[in-house]
Structure 1
Amino acid sequence: MKLFAVADLHLGHPANREAIHEIAAHPEDWLILAGDVGETERHLDLALDVLQPKYRQIVWVPGNHELWAVATEGVPLRGEARYHHFVERCRARGVLTPEDAYPVVAIDGQDVRIVPMFLLYDYSFRPSDVAHEDAVAWAREGGPVCSDEQFLPADPHASRSAWCAARVSATAARLDGLDDGVPNILVNHWPLRRDLARLPRIPRFSIWCGTTRTEDWHTRYNARAVISGHLHMPSSRTIDGVAFEEVSFGYPKQWRGRREPADALRRIRM
Structure 2
Amino acid sequence: MSHTAPDTPAPGPTPGRPDGRLLAVSDLHIGMPDNRPITESLRPTSDDDWLIVAGDVGELTKDIEWALRLLTDRFAKVIWAPGNHELWTPREEPRQLRGEQRYRHLVELCRGLGVVTPEDEYPVWRGAQGPVAVAPLFLLYDYTFRVPGTATKEESLARAHEAGIVCTDEYLLHPDPYPSRDAWCRARVRETERRLAAHDPSVPLVLVNHYPLVREPTDVLWHPEFAQWCGTELTADWHRRFNTAVMVYGHLHIPRTTWHDGIRFEEVSIGYPREWRRRGHPRGLLRQILPYPEDGKDKEDGA
Please say which of residues 39-48 and 112-121 is displaced more in the overlay.
39-48
Please give the per-residue CA displacement for 1:44-88, whole angstroms capped at 9, x wherever unaligned.
122123222221000001000000011224451000000000000
Please give the per-residue CA displacement for 1:100-135, whole angstroms capped at 9, x wherever unaligned.
011222134421010100000000001464212222
Given the superposition, is the C-alpha separation of residues 128 and 182 from structure 1 closer, same or farther in structure 2, using an over 3 Å criterion?
Answer: farther
Q: CA deviation at 1:21?
A: 1.5
Q: CA deviation at 1:263?
A: 2.2
Contact 1:218 1:242 in 2 (8 A): yes
Given the superposition, is the C-alpha separation of residues 259 and 131 from structure 1 closer, same or farther in structure 2, using an over 3 Å criterion?
Answer: same
Q: CA deviation at 1:20?
A: 1.5
| Structure 2 unaligned regions, length at least 5 | 1-19, 293-303
What is the distance in 2 between the residues matched to 1:216 and 1:258?
32
Q: Does 1:22 align with 2:41?
A: yes
Please say which of residues 72-81 and 223-232 is displaced more in the overlay.
72-81
What is the distance in 2 between the residues matched to 1:179 and 1:96?
19
Q: Does 1:8 align with 2:27?
A: yes
SS at 1:236's partner residue?
A: strand
| Structure-2 residue corresponding to 1:243 | 264
| Structure-2 residue corresponding to 1:259 | 280
Contact 2:31 2:58 in 1 (8 A): yes
Which amino acid in structure 1 is aligned with residue 216 of structure 2? D
Which amino acid in structure 2 is aligned with residue 36 of structure 1? D
What is the distance in 2 between the residues matched to 1:200 and 1:77?
32
SS at 1:245's partner residue?
A: strand
Contact 2:150 2:156 in 1 (8 A): no
Please give the per-residue CA displacement for 1:155-176, whole angstroms capped at 9, x wherever unaligned.
0001000000000000000111
Contact 2:201 2:243 in 1 (8 A): no
TM-score in terms of structure 2 length: 0.85
1:165 is matched with which residue: 179, 186, 206? 186
Given the superposition, is the C-alpha separation of residues 199 and 261 from structure 1 closer, same or farther in structure 2, using an over 3 Å criterion?
Answer: closer
Which amino acid in structure 2 is aligned with residue 150 of structure 1? Y
| Structure 1 unaligned regions, length at least 5 | none
Given the superposition, is the C-alpha separation of residues 99 and 15 from structure 1 closer, same or farther in structure 2, using an over 3 Å criterion?
Answer: same
Larger relative contact order (CA 8 Å, sep ≥ 6): 1
Higher strand share: 1
Percent of residue pairs bearing the same amino acid type: 48
What is the distance in 2 between the residues matched to 1:262 and 1:225?
17
1:47 is matched with which residue: 67, 74, 77? 67
What is the distance in 1 between the residues matched to 2:128 and 2:40?
26
Q: Does 1:216 align with 2:234?
A: no
> Aligned residue pairs: how many?
270
Contact 2:165 2:223 in 1 (8 A): yes
